[in-house]
Structure 1
Amino acid sequence: MQLGTRWTARTEPPAVVPAALREQIAAVEASLPVDALGQPAPRWTLTWLEGRPIAELDTGIIVSVDAAGTVVVRHDVDDEFSGD
């Protein structure tokens, strides 16, 4: 795994964030509720696995590129909470 960078949601992603991820990152951010209590916005972490970018939001939402080159949005569900 290659470490990337971090940035706050609803701010301009750093230039190192691949263009392929930017549209879906923006869509995820548009769906985030606005915190009326003034809590800080979650942060994204960009990493690379097997040469493919993975952007994970502190809330567990992951935007990545799969082996076929398709951008995938999913939620990192911890087995402890999945009911299995």
Structure 2
Amino acid sequence: MQLGTRWAARTQPPAAVPAALHAQIAAVEASVPPDALGQPAPYWTLTWLEGRPVVELDTGVIVTLDRDGTVVVRHDDEDEFA
């Protein structure tokens, strides 16, 4: 069993987050404008599904690896199997 973790957007991902996901996590964060009212940054949550890492931002953006090891970005309201 692998435990997940949480961390704030725009901070260094924890060591448990595979390096293969770092670039896409940074790209997602760059696309989310900072809150003009000074609200805290959203948080990422790392979980594991069938041995593969899944990171989800509080906004609903999900970054994961598919079975071939390709990084996939989607939103939680998209059908994963469509």
Deviation at 1:78, TM superposition (A): 7.3
For residue 26 of structure 2, what is the aligned residue in structure 1? 26
Q: Describe how 1:38-57 pairs up with structure 2 within 5 A.
A: 38-57=38-57
| Higher gyration radius (CA) | 1
Q: Percent identity?
A: 78
Which consecutive unaligned segments of at least 5 residues does structure 1 have? 80-84
Deviations 1:22-63 (A, max 9, x none): 000000001111111011100000011111000000000000
Q: Describe how 1:3-82 pairs up with structure 2 within 5 A.
A: 3-77=3-77
Distance change >3 Å, CA 70–CA 78, structure 1 → 2:
closer
Contact 1:2 1:49 in 2 (8 A): no
Distance in 2, matches of 1:63 and 1:73, equals 5
Deviation at 1:3, TM superposition (A): 3.0
Distance in 2, matches of 1:53 and 1:34, equals 26
Normalised TM-score (structure 2): 0.89
**Matched AA of 1:28:** V
Secondary structure class of the residue paired with 1:3: coil
Question: Aligned Cα RMSD in Å?
Answer: 1.6
Distance in 1, matches of 2:14 and 2:47, equals 13
Distance in 1, matches of 2:51 and 2:3, equals 11
Distance in 1, matches of 2:78 and 2:49, equals 20
Q: Which runs of 4+ in 1 moved over 3 A?
A: none
